Amino acid sequence: MKAFRILSGLALVAMSCKEQPKGVKFTEPEKPLLDTTYVIGTVPPAQDKIVALFDVTGVRCNNCPEAASLARKIADTLHPGRVVVVALYPSSLPSLTSPWPGFEPLTSDAADAITGNLGAIPNLPIGAVDQIKPAGSYYLDRSTWNGHVNNQLAKTTPLNIDLHTQWITADNKSRVEVKVTYTSAVTAKHLIFIGLIESNVESKQLDKNAPGGSLENYIHNHAMRELITASTGDTLNAQLTAGRVFEKQYYVKTKDTWKPENIEVVVWIVDATTKEIIHISKEEIKP
C-alpha cells in the first residue's frame, strides 16, 4: 500500500511482525506544516463526549473476527455516533499479525507506537477503551468493552474537536483542517494525536467460524495506517483556558492503490499523565 504525502498549506488565521510502513511523508516530520493557537471570547457549547475503542487484532488470529464484529456492534448499533473504532495490527506479535503471502501488511509503526505506549500486549484479540486503566492494565478483554464504553460515555469532555475535509478533485488531494476548542479550563498537559485509518481492505484472515478455518477475502476496517503527529503525540503548548483554540491544517494526496473514499482522519486528545483519551473525532478525507 502506497503512501500519503503532505504537500503544503496556508495557516488559518483564526485557530501478535515488523513491517516497514509506507504511510505519510512530511516535508517537516517532527511537526505539522501549519499550527496556530488563539483565545476566543465566546465559548461554544460543549460537544457530547465520544469514546475511542482500540481493537488490537491480527490476520492470523482466529478469534479476532469475533472481536472486530463486537467492536462494530458497539460503535454502529449500541452507541451510534458516540464511539470511534481504530484497529491496531502490532508487529510485535508476528505469529498473529504477519501478513499473508500475496497480501499487503496491515501492521504499521503507528500501531506499534500506540500499543507500545500501553505496555506489552498480553494476547489477541484485546482492546483498550479511551486508554483507561481500570484494573492495572490498559488492555481490556472484549467481554468488558461495552461496559467500559458505557462508563466513559457518562463523562463530559472539556474540549470540542471540529474536523473538516475538502476534496480537491483537480489536484487529487484533500485539505484537512483540525480545530480543538476548550470549553472549560484544564490544568493537565494534553497531547494531540492525528492519524489515518483505512477500511474495506481485503486480506486472508484466520477465522474459527469459517469453513476450513480461514477466509481469503475478509474485509478489514478502521486499520491504523499512519500517524501524522509524532508517535508520542504533539503537546498542545498553551494555557488550556476556556476559549483556547488550536488549529492545524494539512494537505494530503493519495498515491497508487490508496482509495480516498476508504481513508478517514482520526483526531484524539490525551491526558499526558494518565494517558486517558479525553475526546476523539473522525472524518473521511473524501466526502
Domain boundaries, the chain: 4-284
CA angle 199, 64, 59 (to 5 degrees): 65
Other C-beta atoms within 10 Å of 205: how many? 24
The 10s digit of each residue's pLDDT in 75-96 is 999 999 999 999 999 999 999 9
Query: So what's the pLDDT on residue 254?
Result: 63
- Stretch 152-157: mean pLDDT: 98
Query: So what's the pLDDT on residue 16?
Result: 35
Name the grid cell of 225.
Answer: 495506517
Decide if 96 contacts 124 (C-beta within 8 A).
yes
Q: Which CATH superfamily is domain 4-284 in?
A: Immunoglobulins (2.60.40.10)
Cα–Cα dist 71/83, whole Å: 9
Cα–Cα dist 23/222, whole Å: 15
Query: In this structure, what DSSP letter does residue 107 have?
Result: -
Q: What is the mean pLDDT of the chain?
A: 88
Query: So what's the pLDDT on residue 33?
Result: 60
More confident residue, 214 or 30: 214
Query: So what's the pLDDT on residue 168?
Result: 84
Residue-wise DSSP of 5-48: EE------TT---------EE-SSTTS-S-EEEEE-SSPPPPPP
Predicted TM-score (pTM) of the model is: 0.87
- Residue that the C-alpha cell 476559549 belongs to: 243
Share of the chain above pLDDT 90, in %: 77
**Contacts of residue 246, Cβ cutoff 8 Å, sequence gap at least 6:** 15, 35, 36, 37, 178, 179, 180, 192, 236, 238
Query: So what's the pLDDT on residue 252?
Result: 77
Query: So what's the pLDDT on residue 148?
Result: 98
Query: So what's the pLDDT on residue 208?
Result: 96
